[in-house]
A and B are shown apart, each in its own frame.
Chain A
Amino acid sequence: MPVQQDEVLQQVTQSEYKYGFVANIEEEIAPVGLNEDIIRFIWERKGEPEWMLEWRLRAYRHWKTMQEPRWAKVVYPPIDYQAISYYAAPKKRHVQSLDEIDPEIRRMFEKLGIPLEEQKLLAGVAVDAVLDSASVATTFKEKLAELGIIFCSMSEAIQKYPELVQKYLGSVVPYTDNFFAALNSAVFSDGSFVYVPPGVRCPMELSTYFRINAARTGQFERTLIIADEGAYVSYLEGCTAPMRDENQLHAAVVELIALDGAEIKYSTVQNWYPGDREGRGGIYNFVTKRGICLGRESKISWTQVETGSAITWKYPSVILKGEGSVGEFYSVAVTNHRQQADTGTKMIHIGRHTRSRIVSKGIAAGHSSNTYRGLVRILRGADYARNYTQCDSLLIGSSCGAHTFPYIEVLNPTAVTEHEAMTSKIGEDMLFYCRQRGISEEDAVALIVNGYCREVLLHLPMEFAVEAQKLLAISLEGSVG
């Protein structure tokens, strides 16, 4: 890790969002607006079975009765849900092999550093690439299939594995859960699906790369990961978007299910376009992520590095149902300029001897606002449950704000919770010490921030850790001096 940090600093040269290009890809885009016809349009385009239409319409009808939540510590003008297009997909899709992918799409992913050719892939990472609303390529499929692992797009899973999908889709995040989850359930168009059979350790990292390309569209992807008894899987998610003056809505739902003795490790490096210095444009990232430790001794671990988006609203959570199950949440959330983040986690302890661990590092610079919001709920039956929470904030400059709202509800007297919180500033003394050794102010900030986040970054898989460090440095450029 220390060695890589150096590399990272040397590579950081540009301060602009470098993923902000628009690729010229022919896409089919749904008419603007949302009504039952649009939902039928999506359902038809995707050639889904009848039960999915029912599923979507139920969610849509419920959504219409709901109010957009306003309790988060973020400020934005009302979203006109009738001004968004809910489906965009590249015209040339149904490919049999990777060679058939539109060269323009291939070029775009290459530009992003995501090669789709299997032979070029970093050893040990299988990629699913989702462009706007549609999955365009999943690599390493055959190799995984030999082990019985299913890794495919959500659309494909609905066609090929309806029993699994019907059993688990919406079982962790029902459409009634919240406004954005309901919207997602009604209109989601693709995403990734993973199933790891009993006793199988997935030998490579599974990765989905999300890319918004089309204008005036929303992205609503849906991810479902099931680790059967004794299975293990590590899943990575990355995301970028072009620079646009408008705000674009991204409302994803991710559901994780861990059965007896299973372990799911879910890592995110979120780098949606954050908007410009004045706060024009950028993605509204309103995401519901939740996992359930259904089985005994199962484990779900969320690691997130959030640097992008104009607004981030997300709380990857774990329901600890199985006895002795473990939930973890490791988070770095960086906000700069006018970005706003309200993020954290929920750990719901139901089973006995369940344990959870929360380590959150918020970093605020510029005029940004950075909020940690967490809930630890220990229910009556959760004998001897344990939680450890650490939420730290680091301030850069004096125009930003950091807030923490740690809620703890303990209904079982044998449970033990520990909470630590610390707010610090990057001190003049620290910066001066670095500069006296020849390190520029910006490099010093990157160095100090990487050190501050080290504990979280260590939980990322190797390639992602490097990526994440670069991102931290880039997103904080221009934050001092």
Chain B
Amino acid sequence: MSALLQIRNLRVAIEGKEILRGVSLDVYAGEVHAIMGPNGSGKSTLAAVLAGREEYEVLEGEVLFDGQNLLEMEPEERARAGLFLAFQYPVEIPGVSMATFLRTALNEVRKARGQEPLDPIQFLSYARERMSWLGMEPDFLQRAVNEGFSGGEKKRGEIFQLLLLEPRLAILDETDSGLDIDALKIVASGVNRMRSPERSFIVITHYQRLLNYIVPDVVHVLFDGRIVRTGGRELALELEERGYDWLRSEGELVLPTLGEQ
């Protein structure tokens, strides 16, 4: 069986500067991959390109999602096909309630899956159940999208959306940053609840701590636009002890990814 997500030699530039310099990665259904790496190494860029941000220029490479050529799809088509990005910096939309926003989104995704749309009442009970999993306040749905949310509330909101939309691949971009330990546990429990043999995760993080709660199958180190090392969860511990400097010399090496082993 081929991987749910296949990235082949992806090179990406922004404003003429090459940020991703040949990334290859296979993520199989059911796997959780962690991507770590220093600031500016290109982690968010990878997430953004996968989600379809238009200002990035793809110089080379190919990305297949469930066998489809992902790079040719519009962002909303990718979302409807089951690709979800939990944003590092969720955007505020004044005046638009979370309920309106999420019901619109959910019904688009459901339509793509061949399901009937949910009416407001069905949506409410569906959403409330998932809110309770994350211990969220009932007024959450009435608030404007991300407006005036604390950092932690925004992150929790992203995970809530993940629970709601039930994607096939979720990319979490530093969802743990800015969370206190209790919130971190809640977020992790939400993600763990969603783990299934059909669903995959790419978890971008700086901290081994998150990986205690969301235990990854594979850990990658992205360094200067390349994956310089791939290993099991013990790699994350090693990074925590030693930092990234010792990998600098490996920046030039091309390492096999797990999928090819």
Q: A residues near B, CB below 8 A?
A: 2-3, 5-6, 9-10, 427-430, 432-441, 443, 447-448, 450-455
* A435/B95 contact (C-beta < 8 A), A447-B100, A447-B101, A447-B104 known: no
- Nearest CB of chain A from residue B51's CB, rounded to whole Å: 5
Given contacts A2-B142, A436-B76, A436-B87, 17 further A-B contacts (CB under 8 A): A3-B100, A3-B120, A5-B100, A6-B107, A428-B55, A432-B53, A435-B79, A436-B75, A437-B102, A437-B109, A438-B79, A438-B108, A438-B109, A438-B112, A439-B105, A441-B76, A451-B94
* A430/B93 contact (C-beta < 8 A), A6-B103, A435-B74, A438-B165 known: yes
For the complex, is B85 an interface residue (Cβ under 8 Å from A)? yes
A433 to B88, CA, bound (A): 11
A451 and B120 contact, CB distance less than 8 A: no
A451 and B76 contact, CB distance less than 8 A: no
The count of residues in chain B whose C-beta lies closer than 8 Å to any C-beta of chain A is 39
A434 surroundings in chain B (CB, below 8 A): 93, 101, 105
A452 surroundings in chain B (CB, below 8 A): 94-95
For the complex, is B14 an interface residue (Cβ under 8 Å from A)? no
A439 surroundings in chain B (CB, below 8 A): 76, 104-105, 108
- Nearest CB of chain A from residue B81's CB, rounded to whole Å: 9
Question: Interface 1/0s, chain B 132-145, versus A by CB < 8 A?
Answer: 00000000001011
B93 and A433 contact, CB distance less than 8 A: yes
For the complex, is B161 an interface residue (Cβ under 8 Å from A)? yes
B52 and A435 contact, CB distance less than 8 A: yes
A175 to B54, CA, bound (A): 56
A29 to B105, CA, bound (A): 52
A436 and B85 contact, CB distance less than 8 A: yes
| 27 contacting pairs across A/B (C-beta < 8 A) | A2-B100, A6-B100, A6-B103, A428-B54, A429-B91, A432-B53, A433-B90, A433-B93, A434-B93, A434-B101, A434-B105, A435-B52, A435-B74, A435-B76, A435-B79, A436-B52, A436-B76, A436-B79, A437-B161, A437-B165, A438-B76, A438-B108, A447-B100, A450-B96, A451-B145, A453-B95, A454-B96
B76 and A454 contact, CB distance less than 8 A: no
Chain A interface helix/strand/loop/mixed: helix
A434 to B145, CA, bound (A): 10
For the complex, is B97 an interface residue (Cβ under 8 Å from A)? yes
Q: Most chain-B CB neighbours within 10 Å: which of A440, A443, A452, A453?
A: A440
- Nearest CB of chain B from residue A396's CB, rounded to whole Å: 15
- Residue of A433, A443, A454 near B104 (CB, 8 A) is A443
B100 and A433 contact, CB distance less than 8 A: no
A429 surroundings in chain B (CB, below 8 A): 91
For the complex, is B80 an interface residue (Cβ under 8 Å from A)? yes
For the complex, is B3 an interface residue (Cβ under 8 Å from A)? no
B78 surroundings in chain A (CB, below 8 A): 436
Q: Most chain-B CB neighbours within 10 Å: which of A3, A430, A437?
A: A437
Q: B residues near A, CB below 8 A?
A: 51-55, 74-76, 78-80, 84-85, 87, 90-91, 93-97, 99-105, 107-109, 112, 117, 120, 142, 144-145, 161, 165
B54 surroundings in chain A (CB, below 8 A): 428
- Residue of A3, A437, A455 near B105 (CB, 8 A) is A437
B145 surroundings in chain A (CB, below 8 A): 451
A91 to B54, CA, bound (A): 59
A427 surroundings in chain B (CB, below 8 A): 91
B51 surroundings in chain A (CB, below 8 A): 432, 436
B79 and A437 contact, CB distance less than 8 A: yes
B142 surroundings in chain A (CB, below 8 A): 2
- Residue of A10, A433, A454 near B95 (CB, 8 A) is A454
B91 surroundings in chain A (CB, below 8 A): 427, 429-430, 432-433
A436 to B232, CA, bound (A): 30
B53 surroundings in chain A (CB, below 8 A): 432
B94 surroundings in chain A (CB, below 8 A): 451-452
* A451/B109 contact (C-beta < 8 A), A6-B104, A438-B76, A441-B76 known: no
Give the nearest-CB partner of A455 in chain B: B95
A5 surroundings in chain B (CB, below 8 A): 96, 100
A451 to B107, CA, bound (A): 19
Give the nearest-CB partner of B102 in chain A: A437
- Nearest CB of chain B from residue A178's CB, rounded to whole Å: 35
A436 to B78, CA, bound (A): 8
Give the nearest-CB partner of B144 in chain A: A451
B79 and A451 contact, CB distance less than 8 A: no
Give the nearest-CB partner of B142 in chain A: A2
A428 to B75, CA, bound (A): 12
